[in-house]
Amino acid sequence: MPELPEVETVARQLQAVLPGEKVSRVLIKDARLGVTRPNRLCGYSIRSVERMGKQVVISFDKGTASLYAAIHLRMTGRLTWIPKLRGRRKPDARASDKAAFYYNDVDSYSNAPARASFFCSNGELRFSDVRRFGTLELSEDKSAFIPVGAEPLERSFNKTRLWEMLQSSGQEIKLWLLRQDKIVGIGNIYASEILFRAGISPKRAANSLSSSETEVLCRSIKAILRSAIARCGTTFSDFQDSKGELGSYQTFLKVYKKEGEQCTRCGAGIIREKSQGRSTFFCPACQR
Ligand SMILES: [Zn+2]
């Protein structure tokens, strides 16, 4: 499951190539997506691509009108930009494919079948998704996609805000960090890494943290997420960024899936424990 840094990475990569692209056709191949009138996007140009919570949100403009598409990648969703190859024709093109563009070696970009394709002036934006848990929504109202939880990288998310949020919960801090209705985009990998960096035991009650521990936790949340974004996101199993490259952060993880290895800070053995079905990795010596 991609976490905030992975989604941010996809959004940034698409933001580098998509703005200015004009949509000529939208093909929904998977009816389960439930998108109504996808071709209302025809003639719209892409203005920007950004992350909102764990969704990739694409803004489209036509004159003064705006439309927005939100894609939630979930387990195996992938957004791939496939540039059009100039001057090439597929020999068996059917009449209905006339508006389509032709490429070779599509597999090198994406080996999963498309659930939706946005055909644009210079290529195709393809949403593929082997397990089909991902979602695609269109709306004229961008605020429909604002997540419930706080955006941890925004300036308004600070020690004071986090402190207020923690007071109402006696839940284990590790499980609390995973709650998307509290903070968006933190999953099992980064929750473990954040608590290791902060030196806080995952089993502490959320409302037991002192003011200074809350400050360290707030800094750790931002630092771990920023450093993961800088390294293009951790890559596990099916997740790949939009260029089909593997993230390089994996090698920088300190505790996640490191059970039995030595803590890089104190040398004690990293432990793996399960809490409510989720594995938690931590150092029992320096996380208190
Ligand atoms: Zn340690």
Query: How much is the pLDDT for 111?
Result: 60
The fold of the 159-282 domain, in CATH, is Helicase, Ruva Protein; domain 3 (1.10.8)
Q: Which residues are catalytic?
A: 2-3, 54, 278
DSSP letter (8 states) at residue 42: T
Is the pLDDT at 94 greater than 60? The verdict is no
pLDDT in tens, 246-280: 555 556 799 999 999 999 999 999 999 998 889 99
pLDDT band, residue 126 (cuts 50/70/90): very high
Which residues 6+ apart lie within 8 Å of 218 measured at CB?
157, 158, 159, 162
Residues listed for the chain: 288
Sheet strands (E) in the chain? 23-28, 45-52, 55-62, 65-72, 77-83, 114-120, 123-129, 135-139, 271-275, 278-282
Domain chopping of the chain, boundaries? 4-145, 159-282
| Nearest one of 56, 86, 54, 84 to 70, comparing CA atoms | 56
Which residues 6+ apart lie within 8 Å of 56 measured at CB?
7, 10, 11, 14, 49, 50, 70, 71, 73, 79
Q: Distance, CA 205 to ligand 1 centroid (Å)?
A: 20
Query: Average pLDDT, stretch 130-152?
Result: 95
Is the pLDDT at 51 greater than 70? The verdict is yes
Q: Distance, CA 200 to ligand 1 centroid (Å)?
A: 11
Tokens linked to 99 = 């508006």
| Cβ pair 56, 79 in contact under 8 A | yes
Task: Please give the class, per CATH, of domain 4-145.
Answer: alpha beta
What predicted TM-score, i.e. pTM, was given to this entire model? 0.83
Q: Distance, CA 268 to ligand 1 centroid (Å)?
A: 5
The DSSP H or E segment spanning 15 is helix 4-17
Q: Distance, CA 282 to ligand 1 centroid (Å)?
A: 8
Query: How much is the pLDDT for 85?
Result: 75
Check if 4-145 and 159-282 are the same fold.
no
